[in-house]
Structure 1
């Protein structure tokens, strides 16, 4: 068994992060802290990051049967009165599939906060394979009491189908008469962390969110220039050759000038490059939406036991779908079938759901 690194993300971004290295059998091999200004990068290994739970909404909900995407949507609808942000700014994570008739664990967190935690970990030189709120590292008690553990400035409270991180002066109010059992022994807290690292109840960052965050950080500028390439490949060559800010700025000016020449309407927008990116991203697939839909239905039907869960055509985001299928290689089969119609499928997210695979895909022109 390869070792696992567990990192505690602090409440303040400028603080170092405590960590454990956990070996086979759950034994702690190393303890320490990761500093933001460390010269040496940590060793690559499976990493479980524990995030402050105060900004994570956790509930157990009775969800209707359906795919992962459908249950996420149902969870957002059920929690609409408890959420301050619009749905497109939130990430919904689901816990293990419960037995029939039991509620399912649901966690909701803002995408901006996920990105901030990811950026912090990247500064440390690590990437989280699993991101878990601190309160879900605690074991659910068997009775109606609440287990309380201090994580930084907050207190994590764990009960039966209950989990919340609150300020210390709100513990009694949230407990609402239930007995609160504080856990002050560091060894007990460490054992709970080790157990959570071995079998996390959920992952706050779905594959789709991780890929989007990586794209924003590593390919943000490349994505802008790739859109410009449809107008002028020469501009892309000039910009790609530039390694400093001066070259990038010059390429941006040239791109805007070329956009103004080709499409004056785009040039009148506040950010012509961003407007062009939006136009390219939302452009309908070759042959139109109806032809693409028919091709997708045929491609999915050709894969045994595959189902099309959701199909969305959005003016801003283009044509997207969610497909449930048995094997990870099925998306490649669907893509090959779509290419016969001049289309392609790009997998933007994948998640396991009770032995099935749920893939988020985008439909576009074949290259």
Structure 2
């Protein structure tokens, strides 16, 4: 449901005299006027029990006595350009200090359509917003009341009652009626009353699609951020879920790593058992194998000593690959290394030299474009 309360703002003269307590109003539900009045009954109408799913808004209508309208034509201008030109022309044609005036132009729907322009003052806007604020009302829009009167035929004028005002509308102007001035302005054109039903339909159309809104420029409401409690709860639960997932990921990874490590240790123990080594765990099996290899190779001449140093050095140079590897009984380890750059191989050699090993290297070019080197590593530091 769309629920709209329409309230007429009091004329500035009534505000100055302090007689602006009551106001014309009406309530519109889904495009149908369901209630109206000329007093403060809008308070009860607005505070009636509401449907939580209803789309509710407050629209204020500014009196024609303080906001006359003009419609300007710019046949060849785009809508945005026409609106800008209309503001400038209306300001030029207005009396008084330009800084005190509030000029608002609507944007036509297409090229060549008339541009509605309203001229009022910042003082009037201040008085109306304070009047609304005193009643704890925040309007979604402030529309000139004269904008609701539809245009007449070119050779005629309409007179229509809008709220508590009698408004005169020509093809290009709308203003509050004055019995002495109306005949002079009309000239040879007749002034005919607008049918009440037609005026009501025009008002409803104006509320549905306002041609212009005085709450623009410096009077445009600043966006206020409100916290939706339901959205806040969803964000809270999402945050908790994210925290749980962030904790579960490393825990699951640690469990998988422990499981994989346990399987690898079991495989090492099984392989050691095949080699005749009985050990309770992988560390004991590795120690026993190293002991036997050291005994077979004469202590530091064992294969595992320089080989482990080589693998440790390659761990800091990811681009280096091992092509061949052999071990002699004198403790010399011979290997062929390959890498995209010579600097990568040199990094491995420098790491081995830092451990006190004697290194010889014979560089050569590989058939696949990589840099290669035949390396000998003396097992005895």
Tell me the TM-score normalised to structure 1 length.
0.49
Larger Rg: 2
> TM (normalized to structure 2)?
0.47
